[in-house]
Amino acid sequence: MIRKASLVIVGALMGATAMSVIYSAGVPAQAAGPSTYKELSIFGDVFERVRAQYVTPPDEEKLVENAINGMLTSLDPHSSFLNSKDAEDMRTQTRGEFGGLGIEVTMENELVKVIAPIDDTPASRAGILAGDLIAEIDGQAVRGLKLEEAVEKMRGAVNTPIKLTILREGADKPIELSVVREIIAVRAVKSRVEGDVGYLRVISFTEKTYDDLEKAIQKIKAEVPEDKLKGYVLDLRLNPGGLLDQAINVSDAFLERGEVVSTRGRNADETRRFNAGPGDLTDGKPVVVLINGGSASASEIVAGALQDLKRATVLGTRSFGKGSVQTIIPLGESGALRLTTALYYTPSGTSIQGTGINPDIKVEQPLPEDLQGKVRAEGESSLRGHIPGQNETEEGSGSVAYVPPEAKDDVQLNYALDLLRGNKTDPAFPPSPDKAAAVKK
């Protein structure tokens, strides 16, 4: 059995600039100097002037919140203040479950389009189908709403009803459904068998990720006899990160020993190292890790560990380059403070901050014609105010973050499958375990 990381580490995921985070009660700081308190008194004077004399009465709570966020965002792009609602949303994301309907959605022609209902959820039982367009939510038109706003309206307290008006191709009139919300557990890992290869896609690093990965590997082993199984593809593309402890555990799932990652803070005594324990869930089978410009934070920890320890070959394009750790400091009912407190380093002692993980085998994913010129390659190094990395260059980090919807069009995936099946060869595959001896312990 894989040994779990002993330190209680949790965190949140917020879009492409994801983070690895730690919950903390906070450490008291030394008292500031007199000049600092003088500046704070100036802030108080400005606040009172704005509150009393601005042309329209301002929202005082918003004024304070924006002032706090202005201070934090001046530090780096990942430090911020979370009000009570944002803090709860973050906890919901990291748990990997929420009160909702159980549908995967996107936006099409200003309407919410159902990609697919999740099996055995309120949506599937109510008869919602892939391709359905949601036109109204509780009587409010969807047009004019952002996708995030529409999703927020569909989520809610468990056992509460929601009314949907659906447009379905072939139906002569809109369909009205009443659905009762339930706890929806979001799969953190999706898997399938590609003939003689196990495919594992880690979508995000939530509290459920390691358990989902373990179940997926066992399922693949049950479907393919050991002597027929060529190996595994671990797909971390478009994975923006999440919980640090889950990144450690996912790395540990493929390792027998070795340092997975270290975190280094402001003071030398804050350095922490996390090691893998015995128990490779894949029994030493070859592994190819897929990354691209959408692979950030926790996914870069996994790719870096398996690459440095010569356990896997990394294939694709340069990752996002987000190498900092955020501590979540609860502030009671007011919310929470998300503060960058450390950088993390791969087993070789390398920081990927602003540089990203370079693949062992670079394979570009062609863009379809309708996306050419519309999709930009952005990484941590392109973010205004980011913490400069020790190895950062003008080239920076990141690459195009695109994965085709159909496996047959996925150049990177098919390259990995050909390597595992012996249809392609490359000096980087399989990696030499002997070279891992040079990795810093």
Q: What share of the chain is helix, strand, coil (3-state, %, to 5)?
A: 30, 25, 45
By residue count, the chain amounts to: 441
440 is known as an active-site residue: no
212 is known as an active-site residue: no
Angle at 305 between CA 21 and CA 236, to 5 degrees: 70
Closest CA to 416 of 324, 290, 325: 290
Contacts of 328 (CB under 8 A, 6+ apart): 10, 11, 12, 21, 22, 23, 24, 82, 90, 336, 337, 338
Q: How many CB atoms lie within 10 A of CB 108?
A: 13
d(CA 380, CA 398): 7
Catalytic-role residue among 204, 322, 397, 410? 322
Amino acid making up residue 140: Q
Contact 389, 169 (CB under 8 A): no
Catalytic-role residue among 297, 299, 351, 399? 297
Which letter, b or e, does each residue of 183-201 get, where b requires 16 or more Cβ atoms within 10 Å of its Cβ?
A: ebbbbbbebeebeebbbbb
H helices within 160-224, ranges in order? 209-223
Pairing label, strands 231-235, 287-291: parallel
Contact 150, 137 (CB under 8 A): yes
User: Would you say the C-alpha torsion 266, 267, 270, 273 has a positive or negative sign?
Assistant: positive
Residue 315, both tokens? 């294939």
Q: Tell me the chain's radius of gyration from C-alpha atoms.
A: 24
Catalytic-role residue among 212, 252, 308, 410? 308
146 is known as an active-site residue: no
Task: Give me the active site residues, please.
Answer: 297, 308, 322
